[in-house]
A and B are shown apart, each in its own frame.
Chain A
Amino acid sequence: MTLTAKAPQTGSIADEPRYDCRNAYVETLADLARADHRIVGVVNDSVGSSKLDAFKKAFPDRLINVGIAEQDMVGVAAGLANGGRIPFVSAASCFLTARALEQIKADVAYSDHNVKLCGMSPGVAYGELGPTHHSIEDLAWLRAIDNLTVVVPADPVETAAAMRWAAATEGPVFIRVSRMGVPVVYREDHEFVPGRAVTLRDGQDVTLISNGTVLWRALAAAEQLAQEGIEARVLSMPTVKPLDVEAVVAAARETGGIVTAEEATRTGGLGGAVAESVVEHHPARMRILGIPEFAPTGSAGFLLDRYGMSPEGIAESAREVLGR
């Protein structure tokens, strides 16, 4: 069992204080920029929504705002990388990934430019604003692109750790940065390792695999299952690509089934990636939880609950997998 899981201070992870990961994002970006002159921010008018006002004040020349122009934003980032800079593109995930998908594919990933794409407020963070502003398809789209690491951090600690790793590592990366409040899941000294799952809770009966804003919900589901005598393994899977296939196969082999839960489409994201590995290496019973449709009006929390990703809903899926 990995030791970097933080023990809840209260009885349940669900009762812990919640944090907006964008704060960890901007603090870490400023730290990185102070230490390395190559770091620059690139935004599409998204200074406020990315919480970059302080960064702009501290580094006025190093926050490049191309205006409301996502294709240009990603192309400009590729050119900045070509000139030796390390651009962190910060834009609402829905516009960054949908509008500039070809630039992400050709200018960043295929061209192997050292660009860090940071999808702010992903998933259904903009709940009530509706599906135009939801970014639930991003994981499926980006996971299909070669030479792009896709990271979905679960809390402020993991967000900061993933950014530090990305800044120190040559190559294209996509990081989702949540705005919906999440409790701290990791210990402060947690080190992000790409492509590695983290076992936050051990168990042999069933496995819950999750990331991002849904991870704490999976942990809370495991707490509930434990009260019924069901020991659930909880795997944090921050890197959707490359996937920790070994951890998935071990879960399929050693436990009675797998439930995946994510703030993304049910097709092609974390659940899809896990299912591919399970089918190929060790077929097992699975449930894939995610957002199956253009969601109706509602807050992010309401929508996650609605699609079976409340702690109770995830626990129920685990029971289904186990046939209980």
Chain B
Amino acid sequence: MPGLTTDEVTMPVLGRLDSSARREDQVAHLAEVARQIRIQDLKLVHHGGAGHIGGDFSAIDILTVLYGAVLDVSPATVEHPERDRFILSKGHVAGALYTTLATFGFLPVEELATFLQPLSRLNGHPNRVKVPGVEANTGPLGHGLPIAVGHALSAKLDVSRRRTFVLTGDGELQEGSNWEAMMAASQHELDSLTVIVDRNRLQQGATTRETNDLDPLDAKAAAFGFSVVEVNGHDHGELLDVLSAVPFRPGKPTFVIAHTHKGHPISFMSNNVKWHHKVPDAEQYQQALDELDALAPDRDARRPA
């Protein structure tokens, strides 16, 4: 499968709205950014011949809201010691992260064409040494949360207001290291830490319930000392309201259970375990593009023919 060509990288760099924008404009903007990121990510996976599109589409709305409205980090402050940190613990959705970073100007959009190509810095899992905006080299599961706890501890020692956000998969919570880290987060009262769980209820080949059921996840997180909030992980307004309002309890880290669907919103991918790392063929690719086109807010914003 030939790689994506630079010509096919059509995504506009939409950037962030001014934080003084009206909430409804923010939400509409975030929805359109997320739609554009999905279109581009679909191309990456289709042309790259690999990737984790199910998990990508599950997480894109969360990534969009974080980078589009919540995180205090920009291409200009990507090295600044006081920037907010975002750690993508589910490193296999690197395609979604790269596309998001490009959308907000951390990477040249044209570079997305190199995804998974020989010697590209955009490999299947993110690399902080090579890719601006990446904070940890993740991929093996259960690593992000301990790193996030360490960062939140450093902020506390510095008496700094910088915050730490970490996105984990739900199947990933089967790794014990997460629970080690949650105990430490609670012990040290790290209220600058927000854990977001991409709760799509599917892992590589089965549901989480069939594998190692995580429920009651809210009660477990609460028992580990977290303040727990549940949101629709595809609702930009809900995500914006919750992620902008953390922490909810002083002295407590926050645990956001974001209910999502793998492959959302593509009809044949959504909530379908087969789409963990399946690559859409030409017909499926076209259908997915058509479905994303149909979600365009107006004709002018549509993808060029």
**Pairwise interchain contact A83-B181, C-beta atoms closer than 8 A:** no
**Pairwise interchain contact B137-A72, C-beta atoms closer than 8 A:** no
- Chain A, 24-46, contact with B by CB distance < 8 Å: what is the 0/1 string? 00000000000000001000000
**Pairwise interchain contact B151-A83, C-beta atoms closer than 8 A:** yes
Residues of chain A with a CB closer than 8 A to B145's CB = 75
Interface residues on A, range: 20 to 34
Stretch at the interface among A4-12, A99-107, A136-144, A156-164: A99-107
A–B pairs, 25, beta carbons within 8 Å: A64-B153, A66-B184, A67-B184, A69-B180, A71-B180, A72-B180, A72-B184, A75-B145, A75-B177, A76-B146, A76-B149, A77-B150, A78-B147, A79-B153, A80-B153, A81-B150, A82-B151, A83-B153, A83-B157, A84-B81, A84-B158, A85-B154, A103-B177, A106-B143, A113-B136
CB distance from B62 to the nearest CB of A (A): 20
CA distance A81 to B158 in the complex (A): 13
**Pairwise interchain contact B140-A106, C-beta atoms closer than 8 A:** yes
- Chain B, 145-180, contact with A by CB distance < 8 Å: what is the 0/1 string? 111111111110110001010000000000011001
> How many of B's residues come within 8 Å of A, CB to CB?
36
CA distance A79 to B151 in the complex (A): 4
CB closest residue in chain B, given A64: B153
CB contacts under 8 Å to A, within B106-133, are 127-129
- Chain A, 122-165, contact with B by CB distance < 8 Å: what is the 0/1 string? 00000000000000000000000000000000000000000000
**Pairwise interchain contact B81-A79, C-beta atoms closer than 8 A:** no
**Pairwise interchain contact A103-B146, C-beta atoms closer than 8 A:** yes
Tell me if A16 counts as interface (CB < 8 A to partner B).
no
CB closest residue in chain B, given A75: B146
| A residues neighboring B (CB under 8 Å) | 40, 61-62, 64, 66-67, 69, 71-85, 87, 102-103, 106-107, 110-113
CA distance A138 to B139 in the complex (A): 23
CB distance from B165 to the nearest CB of A (A): 13
**Pairwise interchain contact A79-B180, C-beta atoms closer than 8 A:** no
CA distance A136 to B54 in the complex (A): 43
**Pairwise interchain contact A103-B181, C-beta atoms closer than 8 A:** no
CB distance from A65 to the nearest CB of B (A): 9
**Pairwise interchain contact A72-B177, C-beta atoms closer than 8 A:** yes
CB distance from A63 to the nearest CB of B (A): 11
CA distance A248 to B183 in the complex (A): 48
**Pairwise interchain contact B140-A82, C-beta atoms closer than 8 A:** no
CB closest residue in chain B, given A71: B177
Residues of chain A with a CB closer than 8 A to B177's CB = 69, 71-72, 75, 103
CA distance A186 to B135 in the complex (A): 41
Most buried by A among B146, B149, B187: B146
Tell me if B26 counts as interface (CB < 8 A to partner A).
no
Residues of chain B with a CB closer than 8 A to A73's CB = 146
Tell me if B85 counts as interface (CB < 8 A to partner A).
yes
Residues of chain B with a CB closer than 8 A to A79's CB = 136, 146-154, 164
CB distance from A83 to the nearest CB of B (A): 2
**Pairwise interchain contact B158-A107, C-beta atoms closer than 8 A:** no
CB distance from B104 to the nearest CB of A (A): 20
Residues of chain A with a CB closer than 8 A to B154's CB = 79-80, 82-85
CB distance from A28 to the nearest CB of B (A): 21
Tell me if B208 counts as interface (CB < 8 A to partner A).
no
- Given A75-B143, A79-B146, A40:B157 Cβ within 8 A: yes
